[in-house]
Structure 1
Amino acid sequence: MNNFVNWMEKYFIPVASKIGAQRHFVAIRDSFMVTMPLMIIGTLGAMLNNLPIDAFNEFMDRLFGGETWKAFGVKVWDGTFGVLSVIIVFLVAYHLARSYGKDGISAGIVSLGSFFALGGAKGMSAKGLFVALLVSVVSCEMYIRFSSNERLVVKMPEGMPPAVSKSLADLFPVMVVIGFFGLVAAVSSRFGVTDIIGSFYELVQQPFMAIANTYPSALLLAFITPFVWFFGLHGSGLIEPLVQMINAPAIEANVKAIEAGEMAPYIVNKPFIDSFVNLGGTGATLGLIIAVFLVGRNSDAFMMINKLSFGSGIFNINESLLFGLPIVLNPIMFVPFILVPSVLVTVTYLAMVSGLVPAVVVMPPWTVPPILSGIIATKSLMGGVLAAVNLLISIVIYIPFVKMAVMRQEKTVASSD
């Protein structure tokens, strides 16, 4: 095990660290973090309109006269998921430009203009998310390079107001970047592609989401995060851009399907992981905390860390446990820390694909405690039952390893005496 850890620290960790710090991934990650409250509010609005509670729906119909009250949820959705791609195309360019030390607002506006020049009016929702990400990165890179070329910068005479000089200085770079995307749209239209975003969604985004919705992809996501965390890197932050690219369109498609009275098409998404796999944080460490309370009382050190971690663990925050117990670089905890998420993914996927538990259609905040989060995410008590079963499974798996860790610590203390 020590040889493996040493090899990983020498060859894997440096590469993973570079990927995690890569400016484009960081810009995408930070942008989605900003939009997280919007996505949560949007799904809650959709949940309000589709609660499977007849008494509630009848009460609201009587109170507001018909189903006019559902306009509230529709408008909330329109103001969140309905414009998600527009927000992302601005934010990614903004954060990326700032990473270069450039004006983020100007880059964001140019990216926004480029997106609409390409036909963004037809894909403002999560449906246009992949195109929005491509446009934001490409337009920002073009804008930064052109605006850094002094031959393309308009020199204004002295005495002009600073705001006017600054805005006109980038006239040619802005013209070139937005003109490029307008040209792409015009050429595409000449060849019969009048809706670039819709065509891209059907040819690329839908097949990609279908692949990401498979059981093997869910296992891969569940494996990567704890595996990277074991070596001290922020696993969630490393894969967040990929997860979010899958998440928002999948949630939107699920909600639309449920509204149409159909089955939700996408089982795997971010709430699938947050509400049923990461119970207490990466590695389902709430199960570990409970296991320590059950069989780790002989270790004062374990109990002290456990008591400090319990409060935050209920809200799925587990850094104190990862570094305090520790789990990071702890060979005894490596196996359950990697194994538990894979087992929980398997149980959850089978429960949902069989129809025993509804698929996720709501994205509760990731800090919502386990079990309650499962109920909210699926709009079903069965979601809470599944989360409770998963928590029990995690406790059972962690117990023998906690016993081994306590025994090892006791031997270490005895030998030192």
Structure 2
Amino acid sequence: MDGFINFMEKRFIPVASKVGAQRHLVAIRDAFMVTMPLMILGALAVMINNLPIPGFQELMNGIFGGEAWKGFGAAVWSGTFGILSVFIAFLVAYNLAKDYGKDAVATGAVSLASFFTLGAATSGMGSTGLFVALIVGILTAEIYSRLSGSEKLVIKMPDGVPPAVARAFASLLPAMITVSIFGLFAAIVTGLGVKDMFASFYALVQEPFMGLANSYPSALLLAFIAPFLWFFGLHGANMIDPFMQTINAPAIAANVKAIEAGKAAPFIVNKPFFDSFVNMGGTGVTIGLIIAIYIVGRKNKPYMIVNNLSAAPGLFNINEPLLFGLPIVLNPLLFIPFILTPMITVSIAYFATKTGIVPAATVMPPWVTPPIIGGILATKSLAGGVLAAVNIAVSVLIYMPFVIMANIQEQKREHA
């Protein structure tokens, strides 16, 4: 194990660190972090409209004299998920330009203009246009940042002109050129007979990609990557978040539409699926480790001290105290259960959802929602809570032998 850790520290960690700090991935991650409260609100609004409590729909219809009360949820959805791609087009360009040291607000505005130049107003403002929004945000930031850095394209105003006016004229030509490039591309695509660029891109690229990411092998890989990176001290969740977010919102939106149409939800793998059934207590299903320590590790004083400090954050899926306190990071003893537990729990959750025992996740509760409650909210079903409880029990059983081994090591150390 020591040889493996040394090898990983020398060969893998430097590469992973560079990937995690890659400016484009960081820009995407930070953009979705800004929109997270809005997506949670939109998902909760839909949950209220479709709350699966017997008699709830009839009660609300009776109070309001029809289904007019659902207008609130529909309006909130339209202002959150309904324009998600618009937020992303602006925020990705904004974050990337900020990293380059350029005018972030101006770059974001140009990105929005470029996005709508492609025809986003027709069908691309919601999750359907998310991939295009990411591409537009990145390309706009790259093009506009370079053009605005050219002195030949800067229109200089005489002294005494207000700074805001001078900045506007300085960015005039770069903005015009950038938007024109996207306009030219839109004209070419239309000339080729494509009536709706966003719908076509969704059908050709985004939907197949989501289907590929929705498979069991990909779910297993995602469950493996985050704890594996965390073991070496890298924030695994942050590093895979850009990928997760690209499939998250479209998958939830597609699930909601399918259920409203009376069909089965097509996408199992999304963020609430992982938050509710895999990342309970934090990466590595460490809620199971906390419980296991209380059951069989009470004589291990160092473990109990850290565990007592970690229990409350763990209830809200925050496990940094455990990761660095026990520690789990670079701890060979806990490497196996920390990697194995999420892979087993994701398998249980995937096939429970695949077979229809548990409904697919269609609501995105805040990631700090306590375990079991999150499963109920995400699936709008008590079955989701039962599945979360089963996975917690499984995680406790996996961690217990390793906590016992840690007890033996601690006793040997005390008597040495």
Q: Which TM-score bucket, shorter chain as reference?
A: over 0.9
2:15 is aligned to 15
1:385 is aligned to 386
Q: Please state whether the residue corresponding to 2:157 is helix, strand or coil.
A: coil
User: Amino acid of the residue matched to residue 333 of structure 1?
Assistant: L
How far did 1:53 drift?
2.2
What are the Cα deviations for residues 16-58 of structure 1, in whole angstroms up to 9, with x where unaligned? 1111111111111111001000000001111111122241111
User: In the alignment, is residue 150 of structure 1 matched against residue 154 of structure 2?
Assistant: no
Q: Please state whether the residue corresponding to 1:265 is helix, strand or coil.
A: coil
Q: Please state whether the residue corresponding to 2:253 is helix, strand or coil.
A: helix
1:91 is aligned to 91
1:414 is aligned to 415
What are the Cα deviations for residues 277-318 of structure 1, in whole angstroms up to 9, with x where unaligned? 011000000100000000011111000000000000000000
How far did 1:259 drift?
1.2
Q: Distance in 2 between matches of 1:120 and 1:213?
A: 26
User: Amino acid of the residue matched to residue 415 of structure 2?
Assistant: A
Q: Distance in 2 between matches of 1:413 and 1:242?
A: 46
Q: For 1:80-159, what aligned pairs fall within 5 Å after superposition?
A: 80-121=80-121, 122-159=123-160
2:278 is aligned to 277
2:348 is aligned to 347
Q: Distance in 2 between matches of 1:86 and 1:351?
A: 35
How far did 1:258 drift?
1.1
Stretch moving more, 151-160 or 74-83: 151-160
How far did 1:275 drift?
0.3
| TM-score, normalising length: structure 1 | 0.99
Identity of aligned residues (%): 62
How far did 1:403 drift?
0.4
Q: Please state whether the residue corresponding to 1:261 is helix, strand or coil.
A: coil
Q: For 1:153-302, what aligned pairs fall within 5 Å after superposition?
A: 153-302=154-303
Q: Distance in 2 between matches of 1:227 and 1:197?
A: 36
| TM-score, normalising length: structure 2 | 0.99
User: In the alignment, is residue 24 of structure 1 matched against residue 24 of structure 2?
Assistant: yes
User: Amino acid of the residue matched to residue 256 of structure 1?
Assistant: K
Stretch moving more, 111-120 or 51-60: 51-60
1:76 is aligned to 76
Q: Distance in 2 between matches of 1:365 and 1:93?
A: 26
Q: Distance in 1 between matches of 2:367 and 2:213?
A: 20
Q: Aligned-pair RMSD on alpha carbons?
A: 0.7
User: In the alignment, is residue 65 of structure 1 matched against residue 104 of structure 2?
Assistant: no
How far did 1:408 drift?
1.1
Unaligned runs of 5+ in 1: none
Q: Please state whether the residue corresponding to 2:55 is helix, strand or coil.
A: helix
User: Amino acid of the residue matched to residue 393 of structure 1?
Assistant: V
User: Amino acid of the residue matched to residue 71 of structure 1?
Assistant: G
Q: Distance in 2 between matches of 1:369 and 1:159?
A: 59
Q: Distance in 1 between matches of 2:197 and 2:185?
A: 9
User: Amino acid of the residue matched to residue 17 of structure 1?
Assistant: S
What are the Cα deviations for residues 78-133 of structure 1, in whole angstroms up to 9, with x where unaligned? 00000000001001111111101111100100000000011111200011000000
Runs (4+) of structure 1 moved beyond 4 Å?
Answer: none
Q: Distance in 2 between matches of 1:302 and 1:268?
A: 34
Q: Distance in 2 between matches of 1:410 and 1:237?
A: 37
Q: Distance in 2 between matches of 1:254 and 1:271?
A: 12
Q: How many residues get paired?
A: 415
Q: Distance in 2 between matches of 1:370 and 1:175?
A: 51
Q: Distance in 2 between matches of 1:230 and 1:325?
A: 12
What are the Cα deviations for residues 179-229 of structure 1, in whole angstroms up to 9, with x where unaligned? 000000000000101211111100000000000000000000000000000
Q: Distance in 2 between matches of 1:194 and 1:145?
A: 32
User: Amino acid of the residue matched to residue 91 of structure 2?
Assistant: L
Unaligned runs of 5+ in 2: none
Q: For 1:367-386, what aligned pairs fall within 5 Å after superposition?
A: 367-386=368-387
